[in-house]
């Protein structure tokens, strides 16, 4: 069983809680998540199963879209409603015009510092463990991008918003900084992830739905197969000889390519990200991801590695 499940995470569960529950439901050990959601957050979380876990570097870097709510009036030590107040309560709130100006000032490329209570590590130890020991760690800010930050509704003390952001963005930090800029403090009071790039929460499943379908042996109803993953990378179908070489991570020559499915005429004109290719067998199975090299293509992430069967010449078994 290999692929990705789009899970609709409920409130008060950690991302690792979701992983553990999926392991139990599917009776699979090789399960991982492709991007953390805080316990207070709900919404779309990607869970990789089996060989799909090798694709973590690609899915973890995709853009995200969130809908959330900021509560003005005071800041907290966790930057969300689960934390303890760190400022005095304020009852005087900015006007809607002032809020709009503040929110829009965060769009574009900005520097952001992770919250003190976060899973980001310092010297091999998560920041939240340092915070619980009352140790203040000053980390250099990260470069992130806020593609847009829209105010959906302002009903003091609450700001309802939607944002599209790059990977590595902490929405709690965004809420904290907005609250700080208003002069009255603020923290994140609700958050839902609705998209990870082209993947939509509308196509996700609850844990209860996944459990029911798994018990009915309807795995294909909720599992995105390997062959349907990373559609942003062009598809190349190899010959049998090329497929066997790809399984071993060897270079693929042009004559070992049967077809190329992309919209650009010249491979040399593609951007660096577009020069990643999905390699398939003649029967349509995903083998590896590859980049161009002087000989043709060089696999750098092998999904379907195989070894020769000692008991039979020419036969292969998946690792």
Res. 104 pLDDT band, cuts 50 70 90: very high
Degrees to nearest 5, angle at CA 226 with 315 and 25: 100
Is the model's pLDDT at 256 over the cut of 80?
Answer: yes
pLDDT digits (tens, 9 = 90+) for 116-162: 766 666 566 666 665 565 667 677 788 999 999 999 999 999 999 99
pLDDT at residue 106 in the model: 97
Angle in degrees, 0-180, between the axes of helices 207-215 and 15-26, rounded to the nearest 10:
10
The answer as to CATH 3.30.2350.10 being correct for domain 3-62+199-225 is yes
Residue 38 appears among annotated catalytic residues:
yes
Catalytic residue, candidates 2, 17, 38, 268: 38
pLDDT digits (tens, 9 = 90+) for 287-303: 999 998 887 899 999 99
Domain boundaries, the chain: 3-62+199-225, 64-192, 233-318
pLDDT at residue 116 in the model: 74
pLDDT digits (tens, 9 = 90+) for 13-59: 999 999 999 999 999 999 999 988 999 999 999 999 999 999 998 89
Q: Is the fold of 3-62+199-225 the same as that of 64-192? A: yes
As to burial, measured by CB atoms within 10 angstroms (0-12 exposed, 13-18 middle, 19+ buried), residue 220 is exposed
Q: What percent of the chain has pLDDT over 70?
A: 85
As to burial, measured by CB atoms within 10 angstroms (0-12 exposed, 13-18 middle, 19+ buried), residue 180 is middle
The answer as to CATH 1.10.10.350 being correct for domain 233-318 is no
CATH number for region 64-192: 3.30.2350.10
**Residues 5 and 218: beta-carbon distance below 8 Å:** no
């Amino acid at each position: 069983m290999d692929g990705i499940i789009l899970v609709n995470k409920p409130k008060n569960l950690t991302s690792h809680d979701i992983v553990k529950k999926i392991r139990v439901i599917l009776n699979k050990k090789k399960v991982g998540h492709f991007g953390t959601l805080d316990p207070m957050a709900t919404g779309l979380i990607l869970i990789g199963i089996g060989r799909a876990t090798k694709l973590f570097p690609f899915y973890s870097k995709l853009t995200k879209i969130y809908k959330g709510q900021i509560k003005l009036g005071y800041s907290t030590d966790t930057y969300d409603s689960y934390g303890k107040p760190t400022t005095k309560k304020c009852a005087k709130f900015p006007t809607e015009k002032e809020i709009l100006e503040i929110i829009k000032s965060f769009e574009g490329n900005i520097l952001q510092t992770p919250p003190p209570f976060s899973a980001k590590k310092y010297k091999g130890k998560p920041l939240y463990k340092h915070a619980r020991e009352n140790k203040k760690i000053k980390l250099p800010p990260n470069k992130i991008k806020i593609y847009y930050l829209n105010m959906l509704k302002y009903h003091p003390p609450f700001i309802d918003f939607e944002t599209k952001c790059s990977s590595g963005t902490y929405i709690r930090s965004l809420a904290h900084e907005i609250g700080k800029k208003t002069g009255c403090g603020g923290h994140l009071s609700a958050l839902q992830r609705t998209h990870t790039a082209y993947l939509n929460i509308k196509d996700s499943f609850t844990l209860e739905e996944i459990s029911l379908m798994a018990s009915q042996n309807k795995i294909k109803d909720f599992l995105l197969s390997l062959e349907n993953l990373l559609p942003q990378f062009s598809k190349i179908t190899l010959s049998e000889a090329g497929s066997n070489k790809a399984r071993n991570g060897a270079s693929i020559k042009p004559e070992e390519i049967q077809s190329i499915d992309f919209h650009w005429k010249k491979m040399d004109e593609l951007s660096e990200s577009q020069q990643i290719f999905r390699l398939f067998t003649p029967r349509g199975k995903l083998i590896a991801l590859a980049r161009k090299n002087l000989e043709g293509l060089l696999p750098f992430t092998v999904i379907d590695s195989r070894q020769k069967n000692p008991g039979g010449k020419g036969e292969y078994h998946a690792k």
